[in-house]
Chain A
Amino acid sequence: MLDPAVRPGDDVILSVKDLAVHFPLGGGLFGSGHRLLRAVDGVDLELKRGECLGLVGESGCGKSTVALSLLGLLTPTRGRIVLDGHVVTERRSVDRKRLARIAQMVFQDPYASLNPRQTVRRTLEDPLRLHGVTAQSEIDGRVAEMLRHVGLRPEQAGRYPHEFSGGQRQRIGIARALILNPKIVICDEPVSALDVSIRAQIINLLLELKESLGLSYIMISHDLGVVEHMSDRVAVMYLGRIVETGGWRDIFERPAHPYTQTLIAAIPDPLRRAPIATARGELPNPLDPPDGCAFSPRCRYAEAVCHREPGPSLETRPDGHAVRCWRADEIAGQLPS
C-alpha cells in the first residue's frame, strides 16, 4: 500500500520512525514476572536514494534487529517503516514478495549463508521463478549477467558452494541479493568473515555495484575503517538507540557523543602506539539497563544529570549532525588523547 506522504521517486527511499522491537523473555512457569528485552527502542533512520548509510555499534546494540525489521522478518513492537513508498509495518499490508523486490540482504558468513545442496544456478534461478520470470532464456540471461556483474564466470553456475573460496562465496551471496533488482541492499558485516587479503575485493565490488546499478546501502559493521570508507552518512547505536548520526565527516572527524569517541579511540592505529580504552567496563545487561543515559556507567564525562535522566532526545543541528548527549556541546569534537 502506498503512503500518501512519501511518493515513489521521492529522494528518501527508506524511512524509519520510532522503531521499537521488544522481546518478551519467558519468566516464571505461569508467565508471571517475564521480562522485556528492549532490543531496539525508538530508532529513527532515513536513507536517501543512492546513499550508503553506515550503522555501527557493538554486539547487542540492536543493529541486526533493525535490519531484520526492515526486511519484514521481525514484527516491530511499534514504529513505522516505509520502504520505497510502501508501508511495511502495517501488518495486513506486508507482502513479503513485494518487499523482496525492494530490499535484499548480504550476509556475514559466506559459509553458512549458501545452501550447500543447491548449485549456484539454482540459488539464483529459484528467486526469479518465484517472482514470475518464466521464460528460460530470460532466466539464463539474467543469471549469466549477474554472475558477470559480481566477477564470476557464467560457466561456474553449475557448481556447488563448497567448490568456491570464501571470497567467491561472498560474490555468490551478493549475486543472490541482487538477482531481483532490489533498490536497497542491507549489508550485514559483509567482509568481517573473509580473509584480510580478500576484503578489499569485496568492498570495491560493493561500491562499484552501488554506482552501476543505482543501489542504496545500509552498511552494518563494527569495522569503522570499512564504514568510513563506504558510508555517506553514519548512525551510531548503543543499547537499542541511536546516540549519534551525521555525515561521515561529522562522525569520524568531529564525533560528539562520548561513545562514538570511545569507539574511534579503540581502533588500533598501527602508526600510533596503542588503542586507547576510554570506556570502562562492558555493555550493560540490556535486560537491566542503567538508570539515566545508557552509556553513563562507562562514560568518563558523566555527571549527575547523566545518571539521573535518560538521554535527551536526538537534537538535529542544521548540518544534519544529531547527538543524544546531555553534555554534547561541551565535549563535541575533542577526541580523547
Chain B
Amino acid sequence: MNLGTSAIIGGMLFVLAIFVGLFAPWLAHTDPVMGANLVNAEEPPSWIWWFGTDAQGRDIYSRVVHGARISLTVGIVSQLVNSVIGVTLGLTAGYWGGWWDDVVNGLTNVMLAIPSLIFALAIMAVLGPGLTSLLIALGLTNWSFTCRIARASTLSLKSQGYVQAARVLGYGDLRIMITQLLPNMIGPIIVIGTLGMGGAVLAEASLSFLGLGIRPPYPSWGSMLSEARDQITTAPWLSVFPGLAIFLTVLGLNLLGDGLRDVLDPQSRSRRT
C-alpha cells in the first residue's frame, strides 16, 4: 500500500473517532449510564439496538460512542504530556550536554528498562482509579522514545550552520531551541506521538480491563471489555463492539503515523529543487 494512502485512511479513521467523541451526546441514542432498563437486558444487535444491550439493558452503541470521549481524551492528553516531557528533556540534554545529559540519559534508560504498563500500574495503585490518575500514570511513563529522538535530532542539528548563525546573531539558548531546533525535528516527534497515542489508547484499555482505569459505570472501551469478560460466550456483542472501536482507532493512528513518517521525512524533500 502506498504510504500516502495509508496516511489518508489512518487520518480518516482518527478523525472519525474524534468526531464521534466530540458529538457523542448527539450521536448516542440513550444516556450511557442512566439509560438502564432491565426490560431490554442482553438484547443482541438489531435495528433498534445497533450494537445490542448489556445485562442492565444499556445501549452498547451509546456506550461505545461515549467511550470514545474517554479513550481519546486519555490517548491524546497523556501522549501530549509524554511528548512535552520527552521533547523538553531530549532537547535540553542534547543542546546543553554535560551532567544534565548524563542525568537525562540515565533516566531514559531506567524508563526503557521498566515495562511502561507495569510502571503505570504501580502509579495507578498509588493514586487510585479514575481519569486524572490515568492521565498522570500514562503521561509519565511513555516519554523515553520521544526523548531519545529529540536528543538525537538535537545532536545532529546543533552543528548545522543555521544554529551557529543564530548564536552569532545573539539568540539565547531557549530561543534557539524553540525557533531553530524544534521546527526541524517536529516531523519525527509527530510520528512518534501518533504511534504513542495508539499505544495510550491500548494502555487505557488494559488498565481499565484490569479494573485500575475508569471505574464502572462510566464507559470507556477498556472498562466495557472488562465488564463484558464473563459474558463473552453468551453475549459476544458486549466485547466485540468496544474491541472493534479500539482496533480501528489504534489501526488508524498507526497507519497515520507510518504515513506521516514518509510525508514529514526531511530526507524525502530534496535539498535542491
User: Who on chain A is nearest to B159 by CB?
Assistant: A112
Interface contacts (Cβ under 8 Å), in number, total 76
CB-defined contacts of A99 to chain B, threshold 8 Å: 170
- Quick check: is B180 within 8 A (CB to CB) of the other chain? yes
Q: How far is the CA of A256 from the CA of B269 in the complex (A)?
A: 50
Q: How far is the CA of A104 from the CA of B272 in the complex (A)?
A: 26
Q: How far is the CA of A105 from the CA of B162 in the complex (A)?
A: 11
Q: How far is the CA of A104 from the CA of B165 in the complex (A)?
A: 8
B272 with A162: CB separation less than 8 A: yes
- Quick check: is B1 within 8 A (CB to CB) of the other chain? no
CB-defined contacts of B269 to chain A, threshold 8 Å: 116, 162
- Quick check: is A96 within 8 A (CB to CB) of the other chain? yes
User: Who on chain B is nearest to A117 by CB?
Assistant: B183
A114 with B162: CB separation less than 8 A: yes
Give B239-273 interface residues, CB cut-off 8 Å to A.
Answer: 266, 269-273
- Quick check: is A97 within 8 A (CB to CB) of the other chain? yes
A130 with B272: CB separation less than 8 A: no
B161 with A109: CB separation less than 8 A: yes
CB-defined contacts of A176 to chain B, threshold 8 Å: 165, 169
Q: How far is the CA of A101 from the CA of B169 in the complex (A)?
A: 8
B167 with A73: CB separation less than 8 A: yes
CB-defined contacts of B229 to chain A, threshold 8 Å: none
CB-defined contacts of A163 to chain B, threshold 8 Å: 273
A interface footprint on B172-210 (CB within 8 Å = 1, 0 otherwise): 100100011001100000000000000000000000000
B273 with A112: CB separation less than 8 A: no
A113 with B170: CB separation less than 8 A: no
A115 with B184: CB separation less than 8 A: yes
- Quick check: is A310 within 8 A (CB to CB) of the other chain? no
CB-defined contacts of B56 to chain A, threshold 8 Å: none
CB-defined contacts of B165 to chain A, threshold 8 Å: 105, 107, 113, 173, 176-177
Give A142-179 interface residues, CB cut-off 8 Å to B.
Answer: 162-163, 165-166, 173, 176-177
CB-defined contacts of A118 to chain B, threshold 8 Å: 179, 183
A162 with B270: CB separation less than 8 A: yes
User: Who on chain B is nearest to A128 by CB?
Assistant: B169
A112 with B266: CB separation less than 8 A: no
Q: How far is the CA of A73 from the CA of B161 in the complex (A)?
A: 13
CB-defined contacts of B172 to chain A, threshold 8 Å: 96
Nearest chain A CB to B87 CB, angstrom units: 16
CB-defined contacts of B166 to chain A, threshold 8 Å: 115
Q: How far is the CA of A104 from the CA of B271 in the complex (A)?
A: 25
Q: How far is the CA of A97 from the CA of B172 in the complex (A)?
A: 9
B170 with A107: CB separation less than 8 A: no
A113 with B273: CB separation less than 8 A: no
Known A105-B165, A113-B161, A116-B184; contact A162-B273, beta-carbon cutoff 8 A = yes
B168 with A126: CB separation less than 8 A: no
CB-defined contacts of B161 to chain A, threshold 8 Å: 107-109, 112-114, 173
Q: How far is the CA of A115 from the CA of B183 in the complex (A)?
A: 9
Q: How far is the CA of A330 from the CA of B204 in the complex (A)?
A: 84
Known A117-B184, A126-B179, A130-B175; contact A112-B160, beta-carbon cutoff 8 A = yes
- Quick check: is B49 within 8 A (CB to CB) of the other chain? no
CB-defined contacts of A107 to chain B, threshold 8 Å: 161, 164-165
User: Who on chain B is nearest to A104 by CB?
Assistant: B168
A116 with B170: CB separation less than 8 A: no
Known A111-B271, A162-B270, A163-B273; contact A131-B170, beta-carbon cutoff 8 A = yes
Known A111-B271, A162-B271, A162-B272; contact A73-B184, beta-carbon cutoff 8 A = no
A interface footprint on B144-175 (CB within 8 Å = 1, 0 otherwise): 00000000000000001110111111111001
Q: How far is the CA of A118 from the CA of B171 in the complex (A)?
A: 15
Known A126-B179, A162-B272, A163-B273; contact A113-B169, beta-carbon cutoff 8 A = no
- Quick check: is A243 within 8 A (CB to CB) of the other chain? no
A100 with B168: CB separation less than 8 A: yes
Q: How far is the CA of A162 from the CA of B266 in the complex (A)?
A: 12
Q: How far is the CA of A105 from the CA of B179 in the complex (A)?
A: 19
User: Who on chain A is nearest to B184 by CB?
Assistant: A117
Across the interface, A105 reaches (CB within 8 A) one of B168, B266, B271, namely B168
- Quick check: is A127 within 8 A (CB to CB) of the other chain? yes
- Quick check: is A43 within 8 A (CB to CB) of the other chain? no
- Quick check: is A205 within 8 A (CB to CB) of the other chain? no
28 contacts between A and B (CB under 8 A): A71-B168, A73-B164, A96-B167, A96-B172, A97-B170, A100-B168, A105-B165, A107-B164, A107-B165, A112-B160, A112-B161, A112-B162, A114-B161, A115-B162, A115-B166, A115-B183, A115-B184, A116-B269, A117-B184, A130-B170, A130-B175, A131-B170, A162-B269, A162-B271, A162-B272, A162-B273, A176-B169, A177-B165
Q: What are the 7 closest A-B residue pairs judged by CB atoms, nearest first?
A: A113-B161, A100-B170, A97-B170, A117-B183, A107-B161, A115-B162, A127-B169
List B residues at the A interface (Cβ < 8 Å): 160-162, 164-172, 175, 179-180, 183-184, 266, 269-273
Q: Knowing that A96-B170, A126-B179 touch, tell me 13 more A-B residue pairs with CB under 8 angstroms.
A: A71-B167, A71-B168, A100-B170, A107-B164, A111-B272, A114-B162, A115-B184, A117-B183, A162-B269, A165-B272, A166-B272, A173-B165, A177-B165
